[in-house]
Structure 1
Amino acid sequence: MLKFENCSIGHDRTLYEIPELELRRGEFVALIGANGSGKSTLMDSLVQGKFPDGKVSIEGRNWIDLKLMERAHQITLVDNHFLGFDYLKVSEYLELGRHSYTNFTGRLTAEDRLVVQKYIQILHLDSLLGQSTSTLSDGERQRVGIAKALIQETPIILLDEPTAFLDYPTKREVMSLLGQIAAESNRMVMIASHDIDFCIEYCSRILIIEKDSKILRSYQAITHDELVTKAFGI
């Protein structure tokens, strides 16, 4: 569904190349590389539709030709830098996931509200709805962010370091949830992560930004030691 052909990744300079890669619905994909290698850059480029060269297509359509709202119906990014606001309740934040489907008034339809309620139930968020987004724990914030992404109902969900700052049981809970979402809702879920062992255990595909070659390569089976060598050169 998401295809890369001879792409360069980087804003001011090329950080690495993607010669050829095709990602499919139902896959839970990990993107791994050293700090500063360009994991977040790839995700930002996908959201913005900006690539220096090469071709990116989704379902056969050229990605850079899609309008902003069309891209918003195809892809969403869960950014772990969101810390919430005192004035923004969880219920209000979740409703923002339907923004790209509303008209100029920004009002949710009855159908929109059913979608929001569906994912509130799936992720068991009822007890958090009246809470300020600024008071959430790290684990709660991740669950709320994932719910908002699901509410947007895009076939592609990107998450930047979704297990950062979480304790061990919560990391495992989040990874299991993301794998379940990919498989059961037929979406492509991609995470940028440094939690190597969790990625090997839970993800169906590992993308590595290779330190020496500066090329992104895809692996469906790889050991911990092989991954560390390719990604970090050690």
Structure 2
Amino acid sequence: MSARIAVLASGRGSNLQALLDAIGAGRLDARIAGVFSDRPDAAALDRVEPALRWSADARTFPDRAAFDAELARAVAACAPDWVFCAGYMRILGEAFVRRFEGRLLNVHPSLLPRYKGLHTHARALRAGDAEHGASVHFVVPELDSGAVVAQVRIPVLPGDTADTLAERLLPQEHRLVAAVMALAASGRLAERHGQVQLDGQTLFRPLRLDSAGVLHPDSRD
């Protein structure tokens, strides 16, 4: 049976659309079991039928834990095999993370462990980096600190701004998301004791996405 993916999103949902496109093209054997947002006006919700949408304004809850508990109940109700954070802008509390531990993934626009948190493109430029990229990682309670499954890299070009860098990275990020979730949906991906496992073998370095959209072990020295 196709894997069931719950998607958490706060914005326009372009990574959700990448998953929907991969499913439609037969590159991802999965179905979207639900889309969940902390922003009822998030455009991501409009990318799926109403029956698959859940949202609540996090600001109306007494605290983070109360919102996370309600979100966790809603996500669990759709019985997901995987939970994917696709531009979800709230930090998930420890109770939520522990409930879905080992099947909770996030995409982050940097080459982790570099530039956890926000404003990653500007930070890469300020540091004078020669390359930038995106990472898909398992979620742990510490921000952007879980084991990294795979990365995609792009060069930083002369004259790049944070906006141009973000614009060039986004299509590659979409390809990365679809490729990693295809591994997850096929049962090849797992997390054990803080390390990524692929086909039962521990990955000591993140996989790397090539220009054909295929994930390979990173063979660089």
Same fold (TM over 0.5): no
Normalising by structure 1, report the TM-score: 0.32
| TM value normalised by structure 2 | 0.34
RCO higher in 1 or 2 (8 Å CA, sep ≥ 6)? 1
Greater fraction of residues in strand: 2
Name the structure where helix makes up a greater proportion of residues. 1
Greater C-alpha radius of gyration? 1
